[in-house]
Amino acid sequence: MHKEVSKLILYRDLGEDSILRNLANIFQTFESCHYREEELITDIYRQMKALLDLGTAYAFDKNLWHNYLTYVLVTNENSFSITSEKYGAHDGTVNHFAKNDFRHFMNLFHYDFHVIEEALGIDCFSTVLNYRAIGKKERMYNKNVSEKVRALSDRLAAAETVDDFFKAVTDFYRDYGVGMFGLNKAFRIRSREGQLEFIPIKNMEMITLDDLTGYEIQKKKLVDNTEAFVKGRAANNCLLYGDAGTGKSTSIKAILNQYYDQGLRMIEIYKHQFKDLSSVISHVKNRNYRFIIYMDDLSFEDFETEYKYLKAVIEGGMETRPENILIYATSNRRHLIRENWSDRSDSDELHRSDTVQEKLSLANRFGVTINYGKPTQKEFFEIVRNLAKKYPQIQLTDKELTAQANMWELSHGGLSGRTAQQFVNYLAGQVEES
């Protein structure tokens, strides 16, 4: 095993805590015949635990060793894999080095563990090669990553030649990409000691735009802008504003689910992180994906100045915004920054104008603005009926449903999609409890 790992070129950077690298070192010690059996078994079991932990996190099944090696291939960002993401294989000398590495990965896929197991009296390798995972709820693991890795794992295990292996990997890079940006839909950011870190959001609602009742004009505007963006055409930054609970954030999540397979990714950032916007953009501007930087519930008090970072990034800074990045924001305020009457009534006309323009200019930098208003009572009842259809245990007639929904909204925040969902959740919970 050590020989195979040591001959890797493009995929050489496996990380300090790599299970594969650690196992390779263990096997090198075993083959040298200079080891203490108890210590070597302890080292092996330590790597087995790491493998099982990874398998549990991603619900890997059947052959954890194959799943793990596949996971390494789809998460390793190198000059070959990044070049291949969203475009697939190209003709070039780098393919020679890639096939060299894939030849060694093929050998690792079919590695014979019986020798070390018989010598040490262990069976952990044979066990993980024939693994049966315990069923898990979707929210306990990243289903999106799990399914893709396991499907590719089966294809790589069946590859008869290096060319077959090469095609399987590069097809995956073309369809989904590589690394965390390839496998995950959405991210948050974290700054530690000046270093920016992207944190994948592992469990997202599989909501679609059809799940949002009404708002057809608003949804079409959002779809048209986003579709132009993912297809490489001109598109605008987008502001969704209006009453609370009307589906603004839901629309954004649905758009991401709809266009993920076309290379759309989303980075959610908060107001206090706006100072890191330039760093975020520099990290993703050369990747072969389309990134929406998403800001939920965006608004500023008149004493907050973080919006100046945002204004510079959207439009007005020295550096042109990369063509693979847009900003989508939701807000309950049309103009985002709180405006006081004193701004308009200042006795100094010039100062008054400057103040007002300063506060309006941020919203004006969004080329597409979409208003989500409160539903009418009729529309509210329609939302309730559509949501209730998803719960077969709710057996109320339309008349009973609307009567109870009417009483609920009077004491739970008024007419909105959010109130409708909370009401239906309540009904479903009561039926299940009974």
Model confidence pLDDT, tens digit, residues 86-138: 788 888 899 999 999 999 999 999 999 999 999 999 999 999 999 888 776 65
pLDDT of 434 > 60? The answer is no
pLDDT at position 353 is 53
Confidence of residue 28 (pLDDT cuts 50, 70, 90): very high
pLDDT at position 43 is 95
Do 313 and 351 lie in a common domain?
yes
pLDDT of 234 > 70? The answer is yes
Whether 162 maps to a domain, the answer reads yes
Q: Rounded to whole angstroms, what are the CA distances from 312 to 276, 303, 307?
A: 12, 18, 9
pLDDT at position 81 is 93
Average pLDDT over residues 58-70: 93
Whether 194 maps to a domain, the answer reads no
Percent of the chain scoring above 70 in pLDDT = 85
**Number of structural domains the chain divides into:** 3
pLDDT of 245 > 90? The answer is no
Do 162 and 218 lie in a common domain?
no
Do 389 and 418 lie in a common domain?
yes
Confidence of residue 183 (pLDDT cuts 50, 70, 90): confident
Whether 141 maps to a domain, the answer reads yes
Among the candidates 372, 393, 408, a domain finishes at: 372
Do 303 and 350 lie in a common domain?
yes
Q: Which domain holds residue 383?
A: 377-433
Whether 193 maps to a domain, the answer reads no
pLDDT at position 431 is 67
pLDDT of 187 > 90? The answer is yes
Do 336 and 303 lie in a common domain?
yes
Do 322 and 220 lie in a common domain?
yes
Task: Judge contact between 187 and 266, C-beta under 8 A.
Answer: yes
Measured between alpha carbons, how far is 379 from 385 in angstroms, rounded to an integer? 10
Do 30 and 168 lie in a common domain?
yes
Average pLDDT over residues 388-392: 85
Q: Rounded to whole angstroms, what are the CA distances from 43 to 6, 20, 25, 40?
A: 20, 13, 10, 5
Nearest in space to 292 (alpha carbons), one of 212, 344, 203, 228: 228
pLDDT of 418 > 80? The answer is yes
> What CATH number corresponds to the domain at position 234?
3.40.50.300
Q: What is the pTM of this model?
A: 0.78
pLDDT at position 322 is 86
Please report, as a single letter, which amino acid is at residue 178. V
Average pLDDT over residues 292-314: 72
Among the candidates 372, 389, 421, a domain finishes at: 372
Do 236 and 143 lie in a common domain?
no
Model confidence pLDDT, tens digit, residues 308-345: 667 666 665 545 678 899 999 888 766 655 555 455 55
Q: Which residues pair with 239 in a beta bridge?
A: 329, 369
> What angle (nearest 5°) sits at the alpha carbon of residue 331, between those of residues 330 and 333?
150
Confidence of residue 247 (pLDDT cuts 50, 70, 90): confident
Do 316 and 385 lie in a common domain?
no
The SS3 assignment for 298 reads coil
Select the more confidently predicted residue: 105 or 409.
105
pLDDT at position 44 is 96
pLDDT at position 98 is 95
pLDDT of 225 > 90? The answer is yes
Of the listed ranges 192-201, 344-353, 425-434, the one predicted with least confidence = 344-353
Lookup: tokens for 48: 């087995």
Whether 192 maps to a domain, the answer reads no
pLDDT of 221 > 50? The answer is yes
pLDDT of 267 > 60? The answer is yes
Do 284 and 395 lie in a common domain?
no
pLDDT at position 415 is 86
Do 365 and 393 lie in a common domain?
no
Select the more confidently predicted residue: 137 or 275.
275
Among the candidates 344, 372, 400, a domain finishes at: 372
In this structure, the dihedral spanned by the alpha carbons of residues 197, 222, 178 and 279, taken in order and rounded to 10 degrees, is: -30
Do 166 and 276 lie in a common domain?
no
Whether 187 maps to a domain, the answer reads no
pLDDT at position 360 is 55
Task: Judge contact between 97 and 11, C-beta under 8 A.
Answer: no
